[in-house]
Amino acid sequence: MAAVAAKPHVLVACAVLLLAVGCQASPFWPLEIGYYHDKCPQAEAVVKGVMEKAISQNPGNGAAMIRMLFHDCFVEGCDASVLLDPTPFSPTPEKLSPPNDPTLRGFELIDAIKDALEAACPGVVSCADIVAFAARDASCILSRGKVNFQMPSGRRDGTFSNASEPLKFLVPPTSNLSDLVASFVIKGLNTEDLVVLSGAHTIGRSHCSSFVSDRLNTPSDINGGLAAFLRGQCPADATPGGNDPTVMQDVVTPNKLDRQYYKNVLSHTVLFTSDAALMTSAETARMVVENAKIPGWWEDKFQKAMVKMAGIEVKTGYQGQIRKNCGAINHY
């Protein structure tokens, strides 16, 4: 059917109508690269400066930011709901949910960035955008510049956070491939996004409780040498919040975001069942091999997947708010 062009007087009438209702007819605005160019020109530089210092002090701070973006975006969308503290009216927010407590870290780093931005541009930069920028900068710094991309912004902060929600959307590291794929598909991501974003397991540390029961205490495909090393580091009864040491996820290049993870998957030297699961289908196994063997292949796909993940169910326009304090909802 041929498109019908609107007549000029109709377009004017529509514009007047939108003004009359305060543009509420379209509350959603797309994210933009350079969103703060005029509103807060130094915003992204401030985030990068804090991240550079934090990662120089402890590379684990970078890994924490990448993980925080994932844990935020998969629950209520990328709206900083994971940052909200408990209150008498909301005593059990996301950060107290088992997938986040006590292992998710970096909240104080986000607060430091927010404080710096509030001093420079009060009430302008959302906590959700801070999380996205911090994860972007961490990726660039830890990859020695090989993962280097622009992050669209304009997200607004949510006002709802409940500990029951992460349990619905953040599948545990004991998951099989079908559960992993399903958890990504429901958020608009595909199997390749799963394989590519799993590569972030090349940095950071893991608590022993995340893999002891299904990888060390029961038969698994884990490399015998790695298993022996891990048994020397981890108590057989490691439990969250109890006797639960941490170990490097990648012992080869532990502080570098690179394709070593995929080589580890191929050599059965990964920690989680969810890592090993990438070899349980021909499709995902092929992707693992490509990422392991082809220089630059994974880095290019990772930056695209990060932008895609950072766009999950975002709040923009007149949705949400710009929190003054990332741990608390504004009360006007």
Q: Is residue 92 part of an annotated ligand binding site? A: no
Would you say residue 19 has pLDDT above 70?
no
pLDDT in tens, 25-69: 345 689 999 999 999 999 999 999 999 999 999 999 999 999 999
72 is in an annotated binding site: yes
* Percent of the chain predicted with pLDDT > 90: 90
Q: Where in the sequence numbering do the catalytic residues fall?
A: 71
Is 258 one of the annotated binding-site residues?
A: yes
Is 175 annotated in some ligand binding site? no
Whether 49 has a binding-site annotation, put simply, is no
Return d(Cα 28, Cα 15) in angstroms, integer: 17
Furthest-apart CA atoms within the chain: distance in Å: 77
Domains and CATH numbers, the chain: 42-169 (1.10.520.10), 177-309 (1.10.420.10)
Task: Judge if the upstream peptide bond of residue 102 is cis by omega within 30 degrees of 0.
Answer: yes
Residue 21 has pLDDT above 50, yes or no: no
253 marked among binding-site residues: yes
d(CA 248, CA 140): 20
Evaluate the CA torsion angle 274, 209, 268, 217 in order and state its sign: negative
Q: What count of other Cβ atoms lies within 10 Å of the Cβ of residue 296?
A: 9
Cβ proximity of 258 and 202 under 8 Å? yes
pLDDT for residue 3 is more than 50? no
Tell whether 316 is in a known binding site: no
pLDDT tens across 251-297, in order? 999 999 999 999 999 999 999 999 999 999 999 999 999 999 999 99
